[in-house]
Structure 1
Amino acid sequence: MIRTLTTAAILAMTGQAGLAACADHEGMCETASGGYHIELPNAENPPLLVFLHGYGGSAKGVLKNRNMVEPLLARGYAVMAPEGSDRNGRKSWNFFPGWEGRDEAAFLTEVVQDASDRFGVDADRVVLGGFSAGAFMVYYLACASPDTFSAYVPVSGGFWRPQPQSCEGPVRMFHTHGWTDNVVPLEGRILGGGRFHQGDIFAGLEIWRVANECVDTKPSGFSVTGQFMRRYWSGCSDGSMLELALFPGGHTVPKGWADMMVDWYEGLPGG
């Protein structure tokens, strides 16, 4: 397959940081249910990070985070930013069970297949990540159908109350959260005048441990990577992995996350 210049190469030559495009073509990649932007590394059949924007965000906005995108491209990963659906006049994700709207699991499967057909990304090595409302979507999709993607890497988001009674498993998940996050606090918070309630992140981790059939609640080990304090649960059901990384900041995708996440993913069996 003859490769044209990737968006990353175009950015390097033009200095237009954050330019969003359908690989090396202007505009969004369109599919039957929506669209996405994508940047490709200079590699054949690359693995793919699908990263979902937060409430009121956009696919273009995801690719403007060069601290996240550039390390991924440098390590041979394609980066896809799907566009959320309309919710109350702003772009977000139809994540909560029972809400009406786009079937997001079907949409995300559709855009990955489209990228595989168009650009040759490796459909067997696709990681689903997201920030804030995008991370809410990651949690609920992983809960209902963990085999849809090879791993899940939410940042600053979890379940809402009432939390699921149980989730399917096993799941391979790497959750990252800011210690001082006050938009999605670790303890959760009430929204919409009491109509909605973000769940407790640690209560969500308990649900994942049950789904992974972990025999104990205590972490298997701890580590530190730069600013990130990490704890993990392994030795659970075959094919599962669960890890939490906390950092000192607030509601953001922190610098250094991309490399840490790739190291984690590539350390998994089959990663």
Structure 2
Amino acid sequence: MERLIPLCVAVALTAAGTARAGCGPVEPQCEIPGGSYEIALPPAATDTAGDPSPIPAVLFLHGHGGSAKGVLRMRGMVEAVTARGYAVIAPNGARRPNGPRSWSFLPEFQGRDDFAFLPAVVSDAAARFDIDPQNTVLAGFSSGAFMVNYLACDQPETFAAYLPVSGGFWRSQPESCTGPARIYHSHGWRDGVVPLEGRILGGGRFTQGDIWAGLESWRDTMGCDTHAPDRIWQDGELSLRRWQCGADAELVFELFPGGHMVPPGWADRVIDWIEAGAGPQAETD
């Protein structure tokens, strides 16, 4: 039996068979109160028995000035995710007055309440496309990664896991978070846009936080017995550290040699981690 997707149509097909679905015969953008999103579905949307089953998803937030369309043009990432049976949901950040699209993770940014908007995107996608909210993770790049961290801090139970790439907290960072979460943080050693040590922006009005300090904050939130990682390993050019502090309290830090980017192979690595549950297996050096 083929999956029936109400009120939407597949409007494009990549070479790998990824179905880009939409909410109308012409415009793929799905409108909800407060904003919009686009979605790419996996090539197979039924289980082995041929019956529909809910689809896990990666909700991926674009960077400052980006868009949902821009996320779905990241074909390598999108096709790797959908090939593993996950949908990619790409919401649009809200436009600020006379500015580009971005995310309101700090109160002084004002604008749309993205802490409410992003769960609403998942709820809408669940109704339209049979997305599984219980198996949806929140990922984001740059400004989107800052939003991932702040939502994980404020509402840790909203998503199954959190996957920030090239973004953490801003100064002054939260004194504490609501509860533990599962987090896989990726960052480039040569990142000059969001340096590991942070930087000052807007003539001193804003300060990107120190990534290391953000990791310390997460370890405190997770109740880790020690700040020392329980696993340290090398995977090619990647340097990784892992703190397992409980069933729903896990932090993996992946340091890659590049700059401000989503690193090659990221999608498969994070999905391996999601599906392993207890994190990637590796020997401590």
Report if TM-score (shorter chain) is over 0.5. yes
Q: Which runs of 4+ in 1 moved over 4 A?
A: 4-9
Q: Which moved more, 1:241-250 or 1:84-93?
A: 84-93
- 1:149 has 2:166 as partner: no
Query: What amino acid does structure 1 have at the position aligned with 2:274?
Result: Y
- Give me the whole-angstrom Cα distance separating, in 2, the residues matched to 1:73 and 1:250: 25
Partner residue in 1 for 2:28: 27
- Give me the whole-angstrom Cα distance separating, in 1, the residues matched to 2:4 and 2:162: 30
Partner residue in 2 for 1:56: 65
- Give me the whole-angstrom Cα distance separating, in 1, the residues matched to 2:163 and 2:23: 23
- 1:38–1:144 CA distance, 2 compared to 1 (3 A): same
1:28-85 residue CA offsets vs partner (Å, 9 max, x unmatched): 0111111100000122422100000000011100111111111111110000100000
In the alignment, structure 2 segments of 5+ residues that lack a partner are 47-53, 280-285
- Give me the whole-angstrom Cα distance separating, in 2, the residues matched to 1:76 and 1:24: 23
Partner residue in 2 for 1:213: 223
Note the C-alpha offset of 1:225: 3.2
Scaled by the length of structure 1, what TM-score is found?
Answer: 0.91
Partner residue in 2 for 1:186: 196
- 1:10 has 2:19 as partner: no
Matches within 5 A, 1:123-142: 123-142=133-152
Partner residue in 2 for 1:198: 208
Query: What amino acid does structure 2 have at the position aligned with 1:58?
Result: S
- 1:245 has 2:257 as partner: no
- 1:266 has 2:284 as partner: no
1:4-43 residue CA offsets vs partner (Å, 9 max, x unmatched): 79859722299xx9x9652785320111111100000122
1:139-179 residue CA offsets vs partner (Å, 9 max, x unmatched): 11111110010100000001000111111211110000000
| SS at 2:258 equivalent | coil
Q: Which moved more, 1:96-105 or 1:31-40?
A: 96-105
| SS at 2:107 equivalent | coil
| SS at 1:130 equivalent | strand
Q: Percent identity?
A: 55
Scaled by the length of structure 2, what TM-score is found?
Answer: 0.87
| SS at 1:127 equivalent | strand
- 1:109 has 2:119 as partner: yes
Partner residue in 1 for 2:45: 43
